[in-house]
């Protein structure tokens, strides 16, 4: 008897914010590719261009298919550009998997992302919701018309949406909005189109963005003290493997869920 496998052969996946080799997005792209999906590596800033190319080369060197597309999904035009480039360059008419780990970097304290509500600027609110909420909506609007039955939308949330962290009020609120959209979309796109939608919520994960945002490790140490699986921060591979499961056929009866990929920091 042949053992079951999480095969994604013949699937096309877009993974936003996957242009940093040690980031969650890159780990997700590599995991999906390793299991057979053709993957789009997406990045936004010029500073990530070489790193995004490096992620694609890593996938290609292992025998996978990957292309690189620069696009900001914080506008409808950017989201549509990403989708159209995917269809054109992979010569396909379908996109099967949408993984959206890209979010506002927490190290942008100058925009009011880290700090109390009373200190938060309009710039910070616009930036946070523009990427985490508006960007997700725009991308879903662009992708879903090209997504067949059995499609998967996997939004990367955060345990901050449930914990009420007083140093991340706006960021946590934007992720809570994302959780609500995921639950609603599960019904909106599930019954009519056969698409599953879930949110995956990491706790602290060891990436260069996380280290820059919290150089003293205070926030990470606080949350590590709440883990149950092990006393450590998460690895990008920990999150990628959860996404891989949700992207596979084995997850066909899992939808509308908040999946805490945090080592047990929160289960709801």
Q: Which residues fall within 8 angstroms of residue 91, CB to CB, at 6 or more apart? A: none
d(C-alpha 4, C-alpha 11), whole Å: 17
Active site residue 235: no
Element (H, E) at 221: helix 218-224
d(C-alpha 145, C-alpha 151), whole Å: 11
Q: Which of 18, 157, 161, 248 is catalytic?
A: 157
Active site residue 158: yes
Closest CA relative to residue 226, chosen from 155, 141, 144, 159: 159
Q: Which residues fall within 8 angstroms of residue 3, CB to CB, at 6 or more apart? A: none
Active site residue 183: no
Active site residue 105: no
Q: Which of 33, 158, 174, 248 is catalytic?
A: 158
Q: Which residues fall within 8 angstroms of residue 220, CB to CB, at 6 or more apart? A: 204, 210, 214, 233
Name the percent of the chain in helix, strand, coil, to the closest 5.
50, 15, 40
Q: Which tokens sit at 79?
A: 């989201």
Q: Which of 171, 199, 248, 262 is catalytic?
A: 171
User: Which residues lie across from 156 on neighbouring strands?
Assistant: 200
Q: Which of 161, 175, 182, 262 is catalytic?
A: 175
Q: Which residues are catalytic?
A: 157-158, 171, 175
């Amino acid at each position: 008897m042949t053992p079951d496998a999480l095969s994604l052969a013949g699937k096309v996946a877009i993974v936003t914010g996957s242009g940093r080799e040690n980031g969650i997005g890159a780990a997700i792209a590599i995991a999906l590719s390793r299991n057979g999906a053709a993957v789009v590596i997406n990045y936004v800033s010029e500073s990530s261009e070489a790193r995004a190319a490096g992620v694609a080369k890593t996938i290609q060197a292992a025998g996978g298919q990957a292309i690189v597309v620069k696009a900001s999904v914080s506008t409808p035009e950017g989201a549509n550009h990403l989708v159209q480039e995917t269809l054109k360059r992979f010569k396909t008419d379908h996109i099967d998997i949408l993984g959206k780990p890209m979010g506002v970097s927490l190290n942008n304290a100058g925009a009011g992302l880290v700090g109390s509500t009373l200190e938060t600027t309009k710039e910070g609110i616009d930036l946070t919701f523009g990427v985490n909420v508006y960007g997700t909506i725009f991308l879903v609007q662009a992708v879903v018309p090209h997504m067949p039955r059995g499609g998967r939308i996997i939004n990367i949330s955060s345990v901050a949406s449930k914990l009420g962290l007083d140093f991340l009020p706006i960021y946590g609120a934007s992720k809570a909005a994302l959780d609500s959209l995921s639950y609603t979309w599960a019904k909106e796109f599930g019954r009519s189109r056969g698409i599953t939608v879930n949110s995956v919520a990491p706790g602290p994960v060891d990436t260069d963005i996380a280290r820059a945002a919290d150089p003293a490790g205070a926030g990470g140490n606080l949350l590590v003290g709440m883990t149950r699986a092990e006393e450590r921060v998460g690895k990008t591979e920990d999150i990628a493997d959860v996404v891989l499961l949700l992207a596979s056929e084995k997850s066909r009866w899992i939808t509308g869920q908040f999946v805490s990929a945090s080592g047990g920091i929160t289960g709801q």
